[in-house]
Amino acid sequence: MPIIKTEKLTKIYRQGAVEVVALSEVDIQISHGDFAVVAGPSGSGKTTFLNLLGALDKPTSGKIWLDEQEITALSRTDRSSLRRNHIGFVFQFYNLIPVLTAYENAEFVLLLQGVDQVQRRKKVLDLLSIVGLSGLEDRYPHELSGGQQQRVAIARALASEPALVLADEPTANLDTKTGQELLDLMQQLNSDINITFLFSSHDPEVMERARRLIILRDGRVVEDRIK
């Protein structure tokens, strides 16, 4: 049983009279425990694809199943609870809530889920130490480097132990060394607790490490290779 299944997934952006087909009839299945990368040139539809899978946006047509549940017809509130309880996000550009500390950012989803204080504390401190941020818990995002911020985002994405983590070019803004450290971490989490990861990237290092490589061009899957 795949964790993600799409059927003729299509997204068309309309801007006045102009139509941009960002994603065109994509059929794909991603299994539990996968460590997959969506690659492709700029504008090929990677972000669009991840946003649809993460229930952040609605497709123009086509369907998405997440763990057997068809999600395209869900209401805003249902999509919100789906994201809260099943998906971890790492975004490309902007990740953290500026008024919350590193600790509070990582804790945020757990708070939304109503996890009790003791468990929250243990989990968040563990995760922050895993991502190498012990001692920086009380810093605000603007007091952290880009790489550190990205790591807080990963801690947040993992805190609720989601079945699926979607990460949109998580290494794009990082130096090579930090990027590698993050990949190590995610690979380790993938093999240790079987979290499914789906990245988008044009970073060769990321593609190298992926177990599955999906290449998009002009909104279509042109290559899908399991290594």
Ligand X SMILES: Nc1ncnc2c1ncn2[C@@H]1O[C@H](COP(=O)(O)OP(=O)(O)OP(=O)(O)O)[C@@H](O)[C@H]1O
Residues contributing to the site for another protein (CB under 8 A): 47, 51, 54, 56-57, 76-77, 80-81, 83-85, 89, 91-100, 108-109, 111-113, 156, 168
Other residues' Cβ atoms within 10 Å of the Cβ of residue 8: 12
Q: Which residues are CB-contacts of 111 (< 8 A; sequence separation ≥ 6)?
A: 120
Q: Tokens 């609870």 map to which residue?
A: 81
Chosen residue from 8, 19, 20, 122 binding ligand X by CB under 6 A: 20
Site for ligand X in 42-61 (CB under 6 A): 42-48
Please state, in angstroms and rounded to a whole number, the distance separating the CA atoms of residues 28 and 134: 39
Using rule CB under 6 A, residue 171 touches ligand X: no
Least Å distance, CB 170 to Mg ion, is 12
Element (H, E) at 186: helix 176-193
Least Å distance, CB 46 to ligand X, is 4
Measured from each CB, the residue nearest to Mg ion is 47
**Is there a contact between 197 and 186 (Cβ–Cβ < 8 Å)?**
yes
Site for Mg ion in 8-47 (CB under 5 A): 47
Among candidate residues 40, 24, 26, 30, the one with its CA nearest the CA of residue 215: 40
Q: Which is nearer to ligand X, 108 or 170 (CB)?
A: 170
Residue type, 217: R
Q: Of ligand X, Mg ion, another protein, none, which one does residue 199 interact with (CB within 5 to 8 Å by kind)?
A: none
Q: Which is nearer to another protein, 92 or 196 (CB)?
A: 92
Please state, in angstroms and rounded to a whole number, the distance separating the CA atoms of residues 109 and 48: 23
Using rule CB under 6 A, residue 15 touches ligand X: yes
Chosen residue from 22, 52, 55, 182 binding ligand X by CB under 6 A: 22
Q: Which is nearer to another protein, 172 or 211 (CB)?
A: 172
Torsion of Cα atoms, 139 then 140 then 142 then 147, to 10°: 60
**Is there a contact between 219 and 24 (Cβ–Cβ < 8 Å)?**
yes
Least Å distance, CB 56 to ligand X, is 12
List contacts with ligand X (CB under 6 A): 13, 15, 20, 22, 40, 42-48
